[in-house]
Structure 1
Amino acid sequence: MLTQPTPVIAVLNVHYSRFGDLERADYLVTQPSVPLESYRDGFGNWCTRMIAPAGAFTLTTDGIFRDTGLPDPYAPDAQQHAVEDLPFDTLVYLLGSRYCDTDLLSERAWALFGQAAPGWSRVQAICDYVHESITFDYMKADSTRTAAQTLAGGHGVCRDFTHLGIALCRCMNIPARYCTGYLSEIGQPLPHPSDDFAAWMEVYLDGQWWVFDPRNNTRRTGRILVARGRDAADVPLTQIFGPGTLSDFEVWTHEVDDTPGGNVPAP
């Protein structure tokens, strides 16, 4: 609900790296309809800007994506690069950022992980530590909480787990970046929570980026990437430039029956 006409930037469309998996495009639809202008930001994310009118305003996307159904890739022998050997475009992901306050965590990180084997084992040790040290509590979500505050408080949501994992990796000279997107509960044992957007991280080892998930700390299937950045400040799902109140939020993921005559669920 908006009290006045308000500029909005939305980052709600699938990342270009998954375009080839689109069976039905996830077009952004607004109600009421307004002119849309799209562009790619400095991190390669597809963004849409608009001016939302005063009153109730709804944003919707709904697509069909083909996924392999395979779990996140696993490469336990992946090695860590020396800082001087890292590609230039990864160096920004070594720096502190809005929510990843490496300056406050560096000493702790080296005390905890300085003796861990560099590479995949060190990143996994960081994920294990974050997963075991932080309690997931959706009711205590806080959009201003930093990685150091998450560790001090001992609770958070998926973005907080991710920020802490990223910050600790950067402290250990491992490039790490923030990812947001869909992670369905399809195939997970019941009972499971309602679908939601999820946060995870990618780390740079052995010449490529690898998925790690401090929140779940297990290989999962069906990740659909929407956006990447240094942290959540770079990839807000919606950025509004004025006062507004979120009145409802729903995320759905359904497994589609793609056999002849199979049903496609309605959103």
Structure 2
Amino acid sequence: MRISAGYEITFDCPAPTPMLLQLSVHPSRVGDLETPDVMVTDPMVSVSQYHDLFGNFVSRILAPAGRIVLRNRFVIRDSGAYDAPLPEAGQLPVEDLPDDVILYLLGSRYCETDQLSNLAWTLFGGVAPGSARVQAILDYVHRHITFGYEHARATKTALEAHEEQFGVCRDFAHLAITLCRCMNIPARYCTGYLGDIGVPISPAPMDFSAWFEVYLDGAWRTCDARHNTPRIGRVLMARGRDATDAAISTAFGTAFLAGFTVITDELPERQSASL
């Protein structure tokens, strides 16, 4: 399968503003690119890039005062396979987890494990550890939160999402991650492209998507509490503890979002996309 993906994002900055941007395809998917994954800026500014502590590509720019447009369009190959279902897998005891996985049991900016632990053990303590417990958490979050773009709020935490029962995909992910961590299941946040491939086309505007991964039987497994069903064509951009580590943009100053378009389409085998 070939997927055409990209974005056009516009910011208005009252003054020159340093920004970090996580808009590149994740290093694990670079080998699948058919065309370059290059961010174009208007006006043209210098773009540098580094790998962060989680292995993501991060771009650095100094946005000038006024309006700046960031855009990209690329083609990437995908297996076309649905997400692998959760296997009949157990969870490792905490003492047997690898050192680099322990981090994903801890509370973080949007995942208040200390405040949701009692709820998690009340709801899921009687469910068999491992994949059965993860699926129970997925089912609960999927039922508990109602999706709606009008409910998006950049500061909303897992606890607030649980109490309000409304949110967007990142809120589904944050709540499910938190409940997993409370049950000693390592879980990490993911963001990227997920188009309407293999499902009915949604009338809502396309956006980046958030999902998460859990660590079971020595491997990371893809989970999606918003959809709670296998999907086709995920294109990972970034992973981390929560949305803080995988933020699309981080401005060190004032930057007003003035335009936002995301594109994710399946292409015929011989068609290509251009900027």
Query: TM-score normalised by the shorter chain: which range applies?
Result: over 0.9
Cα 1:265–1:61 change in 2 (3 A) is closer
Matched, 1:168 2:176: no
Cα-to-partner distance string for 1:7-26 (whole Å, 9 max, x where unaligned): 11111000011111111121
Cα-to-partner distance string for 1:176-206 (whole Å, 9 max, x where unaligned): 0000000011221144433210000000001
- Describe how 1:18-37 pairs up with structure 2 within 5 A: 18-37=29-48
Q: For residue 68 of structure 1, what is the aligned residue in structure 2?
A: 79
Choose between structure 1 and 2: higher strand proportion: 2
> Is the Cα contact below 8 Å between 1:185 and 1:192 reproduced in 2?
no
Q: For residue 7 of structure 2, what is the aligned residue in structure 1?
A: none
Alignment counterpart, residue 84 of structure 1, candidates 87, 91, 95: 95
> CA offset at residue 90 of structure 1?
0.3
Cα-to-partner distance string for 1:191-233 (whole Å, 9 max, x where unaligned): 4433210000000001110000001100001000000000001
Q: For residue 123 of structure 1, what is the aligned residue in structure 2?
A: 134
- Describe how 1:151-162 pairs up with structure 2 within 5 A: 151-162=162-173
Aligned Cα RMSD in Å? 1.1
Q: For residue 178 of structure 1, what is the aligned residue in structure 2?
A: 189
Cα-to-partner distance string for 1:104-163 (whole Å, 9 max, x where unaligned): 000000000001111111101000000001101210111111101111111110000000
> Is the Cα contact below 8 Å between 1:179 and 1:225 reproduced in 2?
yes
Runs of 4+ in 1 over 2 A off after TM superposition: 190-194, 263-267
Query: Higher mean Cα deviation, 57-66 or 190-199?
Result: 190-199
> CA offset at residue 266 of structure 1?
4.9
Query: Which structure has more RCO (C-alpha within 8 Å, separation ≥ 6)?
Result: 2
Cα-to-partner distance string for 1:63-103 (whole Å, 9 max, x where unaligned): 11100110111243111100000000000000000000010
* Structure 1 SS opposite 2:13: coil
TM-score, scaled to structure 1: 0.96
> Is the Cα contact below 8 Å between 1:6 and 1:51 reproduced in 2?
yes
Aligned residues with identical type, % of pairs: 53
* Structure 2 SS opposite 1:234: coil
Q: Which runs of 5+ in 2 are unaligned?
A: 1-11
Partners of 1:266 and 1:250 lie apart in 2 by: 16
Cα 1:159–1:75 change in 2 (3 A) is closer
Letter in 1 for 2:95: E
> Is the Cα contact below 8 Å between 1:76 and 1:121 reproduced in 2?
no
Partners of 2:67 and 2:202 lie apart in 1 by: 33
**Residues paired across the two proteins, number:** 264
> Is the Cα contact below 8 Å between 2:198 and 2:231 reproduced in 1?
no
Partners of 1:26 and 1:62 lie apart in 2 by: 7
